Amino acid sequence: MIHVFCKGVTKSAVRRFVFGSLATCVLALTFLNGTPIARAQLLWHVTHTDSWVSPSGHLDSLVCFTSVSCKGNICTAAAIVTTDPNQYVDKRLTMFRSEDGGASWKEQSFDIQYPMWLTNFGFTKVQQVDPLCAVGIADNGFVVKTTDGGQSWKLMPFPVQHQLADIDFSDSLTGIVVGIELDSEIFTTTDGGNTWTDRTKPGYYNLCSCRSFGHGEFRFFRYGRGQIYTTYDNFQTVDSTALIFDSVSDPKYYNDLVNCTFTAGDTILAYGRHWPSDTVDPSGGYGMIMRSTDGGKSWEQPFVFPTIKINDVTMTTDLDRDTIYAGGFSNHNLLVSTDRGASWRCDTIVIDTSYTPFSCWGLTMTGDEHLVASFSPVTNHSFSILARSSSVLSHVDVVEKIQYYTYVYPNPADRMVHISSIDRSNPYHVFDILGREVAQGVLSAEGTADLDVSQMPAGVYEVLLQYYELECCAGKIIVR
């Protein structure tokens, strides 16, 4: 296992967002609810890069991890593997398993026969149902399952060969699958997928998310506009909410909900993107996420994030804890909530110096409070890494403590300014309101520095401390 830090998140990139202009600075402060900015960052152990030695001993290259799921510290990850590093040929599907929360992985025996075109996208969803049971779906009715911890996988009989959007099992026997065709189909099972019951009826359009709660309770979600369907009596009756965005509130379809996450209660997160103009530009969307606490009957105000941070939200971790993470297509960023989705902020992804995490294909939380995720530098399924976050909360605490115990005085000042911090022997940088660096230095072994501001024009300046690869805004200087 390699423990590396990312230098790809450059100081200039951070400055352009945080200090690039007065308007941007105000946006950042407002975005963090007025709290002084600490650039909280997620530090990742890279478990696999773009090469992997399989149990058979040959080198597999261009590994793309397409989905990952954890139940406690037992995890399953689906992957597409190409054996020739120079050509996109000899692709195969496989599964990996971790029993230590993503710290180490072992490729499983996966000898199911499948059509080769499945390797274009692989398994779009896997679910770790319990320590021994896991399920996965791919296109055109391809459903697989293991009940022995991945020692063997079985292709489950499925009634149709249509595009499948989501699968969810409440236990090893009870599950639901939905498709995303125009006239979406719904199937449920109570015998572990050996037989399926068709629950389809007219009016189910573009279903993309589902959840099995057991005891005849299921929920599913409509792509784009966001209608929520619920049954409590095994589809004898089905309740439905109004569209989250209808033609009246959103006449130009500026909002597009691509997915949602359910809990055992009535809290639901819906997410996707907001288009700021009539032109649909895949790179110009604003990531959007919103919450309902009454089963979709009413929704709180959406959180819309700057394009520079994340332009499409496609997945979240489970809602069974206070801290929730969301990912999608972004620029080195994930979203984090510490109050079950009531508020959100951006965290920077810090991985490898040569790797740019843009697309998030899988995102899950382990039982020991680590994130495990699959990241790709591109928007297609070519290759990706499987990474495990390292001491997320403790690293955030370090930044916040440095910020809290750093003092800049006197303030305002016209000659000398003294910096005193619990940080030791690390660099500091001073920027003007336009994001230009006007001074720099290194804190002493005692955590102090003296800065001459007598030649600086009157104005407001930011002091940024650099703690290894972490950066935090530690205070302001007002020069008069």
pLDDT of residue 86: 55
Tokens representing 351 are 């991985």
Torsion sign, CA atoms 282, 284, 289, 290: negative
pLDDT of residue 353: 44
**For 285, left (φ over 0), alpha (ψ -120 to 50), or beta?**
beta
Confidence band, pLDDT 50/70/90 cuts, at residue 181: low
pLDDT of residue 183: 66
pTM, full prediction: 0.71
Confidence band, pLDDT 50/70/90 cuts, at residue 45: low
Sort strands 217-222 and 268-274 into parallel, antiparallel or unpaired. unpaired
- Residue 260, pLDDT > 70, answer yes
197 versus 226: which is more confidently predicted? 197
DSSP SS3 for 293:
coil
Sort strands 286-292 and 303-304 into parallel, antiparallel or unpaired. antiparallel
- Residue 13, pLDDT > 80, answer no
- Residue 324, pLDDT > 90, answer yes
24-33, 57-66, 127-136, 206-215: segment of lowest average pLDDT: 24-33
Please state, rounded to an integer, the average pLDDT across all residues of the chain: 79
The owner of tokens 């152990």 is 45
Distance CA 453, CA 99 (A): 56
Confidence band, pLDDT 50/70/90 cuts, at residue 334: confident
pLDDT of residue 109: 85
